[in-house]
Each structure stands twice: as C-alpha cells, then as structure tokens.
Amino acid sequence: MSNGITSVMDKVRGAGQTTVGRLLREQARIRPSSVAVEGAGVKWTYLAFNDRVNRLANFLVSRGFSRGDRIAILSENRSEYMELEFAAAKLGAVVAALNWRLAEDEQIYCIALTKPRIGFVSLRFRDTLQDINHCMEKVIVFGSEYESILSHARNHEPDEEVDVEDPLVILYTSGTTGRPKGAAISHRAFLARVSVFCMDYGMTRADTFVAWPPMFHMASTDLSIGMLLIGGKVIQVDGFDVDRLVDIVTSERLGWLVLMPGVIERFVEVLTTCSITPKRILMVGAMADLLPRHQITEITRLLRSPYLNSFGSTETGIPPCSGSLLLPGETHMSLSKTQSSFCEVRLVNSQRRLVADGSPGELEIRGPTLFSGYWCADDVNEKEFRQGWFNMGDVFRRNSDGSYDFVDRSKYLIKSGGENIYPAEIERILLEDDRVADAVVVRRSDPQWGEVPVAVVARKDVSLTEMELMQRCRKYLAGYKQPKQIYFVPLEEMPRSTTGKIQRHEIEKWIIQKGNHL
C-alpha cells in the first residue's frame, strides 16, 4: 500500500508545484495589455515586461548562467530591479540584493558571502560597485549598456529546470550584533507571502503596490514580486518621495501603503497642509509597536484607512502576527495582535517548553512563508531552526482570547539586580505621552545592579522635562523598571536602520561615550 502511494506521489509531485517565473509567463498570456510595472518614465504591460525579462534571462544563459548561480544588484528602486529578479526566477538563479546604505567593508563582506558571478548596478552606484568588486566576471550598468543587451537578446521563454524550493532572493538582515546575514527566500515563500495578503486583507489584482522602501528590504520585495503573480500593478518609487506618493494616493487604488517609523510624522505634515482625498487604500503602515499612538490616529484619519498592526520579519514575511487592522481615526491603547494565516505559532521558554497563557515566551513559527535559512551559515541555522521550528528571538505573551502581545526582542532584555526588564514596556509608557515624538530604552552598566534601563527621548514639545516623564513612569511602572535617566535628543539625530527602526546599539554607544553629557 505504501509503495502505491509513493508511486502516485512521485508522479504528481511536479504537477503540484509552480514557480515565480512560470506565473509571470501565465499573467503575460492571460492579461497581456494590463499594466504590470511603472517606474521613472516607463510603463510596462505584462506582455512587454515579460518580453524584457525573457531577453535578460536569455542573455544570462548565453553567458553560461544556470540554476543556483548568484547575481548581485546594487541600485535604487527602478523597473530593472524587478526585471532582474524575474529573469533569475526563470533560470533558478539567485539575486543578492545589496544594501547601498552599508559601509564599504560590509558591502565587501556581503559579496564575499554570496560570491555572485555578475553584478547589475545603476549609474548612481556604479563607482561603488566597481570599487568593491573582487570576484564578479562582469558589472553591467543600467542605461544604454543594459538596453543594448536586451535589444540583442532573444525573447523566447527560457527552458530551464526550476524548483519551487530554489532560493530566488537573498536579503541581508541587520548586522546589529555582528556581520549581516543573508536570508535566502525561495519561490515557495514568495507565493505563500502574497497568498497571506490576499487571504487576511482581501488584496486583489485590482490593487496597486507602491514600492518606495528600498528593494533590498522585504517591505518592497515581497509584494513587488507577489503582485505580479496575481496580476496586479507595481509602481517603483525612488525612496520616500512625498510629492510622488501624494499623487499616487490620489490616483491609484492601493493595497498596502507601507509607512514606517521615521517617515509618518513627515507624511502627516504634508497631508495636513495639502488636504487630499485618497482614491482608496486597503491599509497603511507597519510596526505599530514602534510608533507614538497619536501618529497612528492621525495618519489613519488623514488617509481614511486602517493601520496594519503587523509583526513579521525578513525571514517570515508578514506572518506570524499581522492578522488584524487598527480602525482609522481612533486612539488604540491596546496593540494585541492576531495570528496570520498559513502559519503555526508557539511560545517557549529557554528549555523550549511551551509557556502558559500570560507568561512571556520566545515565539517560534513554521509555515510556507518562512525563508530557507541563512546563506552559508550552518551554525546559525542549526541554532535558530530547531525540530522544524524557526525561533524569531522575539518575546510575546499569549492572551486568553488567543491574541498576542509583543513584549520585546529577547536580545534587548535588561537584567537588573536579578529582575528581567523589557525595554518595550517602558517605551510604550513614554510614547503614550503626546509630547513625545519618539523614544528608545537601552541598557547601561551599573556597579550595583549590573544593568539599568535608561531612555533617550525626542520631544515634540521642548518644554517637556525629565521630571515629568519620570513621574509618568513612576505612575505606570514598577520601581525596578523605571528608567534611571532620560536623555533628550533631536528627532533627526535618532540613528535608524533603513526600515525606520532605531538602532539601539548606536544609542548604547552614545551613552557609553558621552554619559551624562548626551
């Protein structure tokens, strides 16, 4: 009996799979005249975009590229970025998406890690890539050189064997505790990630996705790829161009408008002065836990759209806990989260035993949106993938109604005199004061307690004092959780990652170097 089942499974296994490249081909066949991609000065239909993708793929084949080869890209957001990703998808090749904000030493490390054979670069970063290129056979610049290559290449569909588990894109995760890691994301994961958006939020091919965050981040890459798998449209925007985004908001039916900490306050200012009417936005925002509540209230009121109460990562996509939206124009004191579709979630202690409801535990996840591990990092993968689960390193509490409350990153835990302090608990109290523009809590060495929490705050109201915030903390927090000192800095001096997250390691360096004089 088992042999019969095995035989049948062997015969049907391939029929149950498809890949990113094949689905683009199908969309070009089904809706050839529909707009697929817009960029600076270009607008490609599915037929035209697929034609360009095929030409690029066939050029790569002519140079001996095949399944598993790595291709580097260093570029701002533009339509060619997506052409390269889909060309790689049709070959089973892997795109290493270099982060143009990294220092030269970090860039060299990322290239050495993935060993790309060829590089594609925009004119803006041409000199950068040529300076750090130590292993690539060739570097191709977008523009006349690139267009010449396409014009001379054949446009037939490549006939390459590609598996749904093949990695397609490598995104380099933040190196806050060491070197960047390369998260390998497969065809299977990209298909599953867009499926979650369709299932949990009702996104359809009638929606448009605006890719303004850098394409070397999942915030843009997941849906730039995903929307073309379901027949939607993608608009590539070169960074946080407020005027361009306002035009798009008024003219396009949008699915997810990504807005992250660090840009929302600016967008609120512009929207308040220009008084626009959005065409329709399914949802806005991300990472609600990192924002002052008044920003969520204002941006949702102005855009007439709910806020995505998300919790995901480069490694997991929008899951595990992004299944709910915050209603527009309301003040939300609770940010309890709903589990996303297509994933399993559990909370465990340090011995990897399940914790009871109401107790903090590290979140582990498994499901089809999950990445395929870190590139060339067996030790790290061995540590973070355990018995079929991926440990995110984030601490949550599960409530009796099945919702989840984010506690903090486990690595941010402050151990003070034997007590565990999670910075996010303190930050939440500080951010609920309308006079606070942003706040972060980090550890400081202490001769008596080992570590103590200290806060760095950016004020909206310069009359706000340390004493007033200390009084607020005394009202809502246990004594050992209260920050031992509060420093004030201008909002623009808060060091941030490319996703808008405050870089805690940089804040801790400030405190060590400047102490009470910060």
Q: What is the pLDDT of residues 244-259, one digit of tens each?
A: 999 999 999 999 999 9
| CA–CA dist 211, 188 (Å, integer) | 21
- The per-residue pLDDT for 177 is 46
pLDDT at 506: 86
Question: What's the half-sphere exposure (Cβ side, CA atoms, 13 Å) at 80?
Answer: 23
Distance CA 97, CA 88 (A): 12
Spatial neighbors of 233 by CB under 8 A, at least 6 apart, are 34, 35, 36, 37, 38, 207, 208, 209, 227, 252
- Spatial distance between the Cα atoms of 411 and 393, rounded to a whole number of angstroms: 7
Q: What is the gyration radius of the CA atoms in the chain, in angstroms?
A: 24
* 202-231 burial code (b ≥16 CB/10 A, e <16): ebebebbbbbbbbbbbbbbbbbbbbbbbbb
Rounded CA separation 122/374 (Å): 27
Q: Which domains does the chain have, with CATH numbers?
A: 14-30+44-187 (3.40.50.12780), 345-400 (2.30.38.10), 411-517 (3.30.300.30)
Q: State residue 343's pLDDT score.
A: 97
Residue 7's pLDDT is what?
A: 62
CA distances from 69 to 112, 214, 292 (A): 14, 23, 44
β-strands 118-121, 70-74 pairing: parallel
Q: 459-470 in b/e burial notation, b at 16+ Cβ within 10 A?
A: beeeebeeeebb
Computed from CA positions of residues 11, 17, 21, 23, in that sequence, does the dihedral angle turn out positive or negative? positive
Distance separating alpha carbons of residues 26 and 16, to the nearest angstrom = 16
Query: Helix (H, G, I), strand (E, B), or coil: what is residue 238?
Result: coil
Q: Are 300 and 284 in contact (CB under 8 A)?
A: yes
426, amino acid identity? I
Ranges of the chain with pLDDT below 50? 1, 175-177, 516-518
DSSP 239: S
Question: 409 — phi, psi (to 5°)?
Answer: -70, 135
**DSSP secondary-structure letter at 479?**
G
pLDDT at res. 1: 46
DSSP assignment letter at 262: T
Cα 143 to its chain centre, rounded Å, is 28
pTM exceeds 0.95, yes or no: no
Please report, for residues 76, 363, 477, the alpha-carbon distance to residue 64 in angstroms, rounded to integers and kept in the order given. Answer: 27, 43, 62
pLDDT at 33: 98
- Which pLDDT belongs to residue 451? 79
